[in-house]
């Protein structure tokens, strides 16, 4: 699997696995964004003080994104997230239909920020 280290990020991020009740450093999880103990997604509490954005994310590889997920477009972590309506696989690419946005095309291994909450 390709590294997920190159994904869009906010200035302040805290990483927690709620299954293991453990916090992690960026270096411990940045290649997969999954818990090294249980393999579950790590919750990312991300903050941008300039825009007063405080969101909770999980980071997925594009081929792990599901219908119903809320995704942020590249460069758009302080902006709106979009609900996934449909996903079509075209070999090495995915076509992700997003509510109120249209289609977003990505490679199968592209990292995606999925919003799961705010704080």
pLDDT in tens, 49-74: 999 999 999 999 999 999 999 999 98
Give the separation between CA 54 and CA 46, rounded to whole angstroms.
Answer: 6
Count of CB atoms within 10 A of residue 70's CB?
18
Local confidence band at 119 (pLDDT 50, 70, 90 cut-offs)? confident
Q: Evaluate whether residue 108 is within a structural domain.
A: yes
Q: Evaluate whether residue 36 is within a structural domain.
A: yes
In the chain, the percentage of residues whose pLDDT exceeds 70 is 95
Range of the domain at 84: 12-118
Model pLDDT, residue 75:
86
User: How many independent structural domains does the chain possess?
Assistant: 1
Q: Evaluate whether residue 4 is within a structural domain.
A: no
Model pLDDT, residue 4:
59
**For 63, phi and psi rounded to 5 degrees?**
-75, 0
Mean pLDDT lowest among 42-46, 73-77, 85-89, 96-100: 73-77
Q: Evaluate whether residue 6 is within a structural domain.
A: no
Q: Evaluate whether residue 30 is within a structural domain.
A: yes
In the chain, the percentage of residues whose pLDDT exceeds 90 is 82
Q: Evaluate whether residue 3 is within a structural domain.
A: no
Q: Evaluate whether residue 106 is within a structural domain.
A: yes
What would the DSSP string read from start to end of 5-51? TTS---SEEEEEETTTTEEE-HHHHTTT-B-TTT-PBPEEEEEETTT
Calculate the CA dihedral of residues 25, 26, 30, 33 and round it to 10 degrees: 60
Q: Evaluate whether residue 26 is within a structural domain.
A: yes
């Amino acid at each position: 699997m390709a590294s997920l280290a190159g994904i869009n990020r906010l200035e302040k991020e805290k990483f927690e696995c709620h299954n293991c009740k453990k916090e992690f450093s960026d270096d411990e999880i940045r290649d997969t964004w999954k818990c090294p103990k249980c393999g579950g997604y790590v919750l990312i509490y991300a903050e941008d003080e300039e825009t007063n954005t405080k969101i909770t994310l999980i980071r997925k590889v594009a081929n792990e994104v599901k219908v119903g997920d809320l995704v942020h477009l590249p460069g758009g972590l302080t902006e709106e997230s979009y609900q996934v309506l449909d996903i079509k696989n075209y070999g090495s690419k995915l076509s992700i239909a997003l509510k109120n946005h249209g289609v977003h095309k990505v490679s199968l291994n592209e990292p995606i920020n999925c919003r799961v909450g705010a704080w």
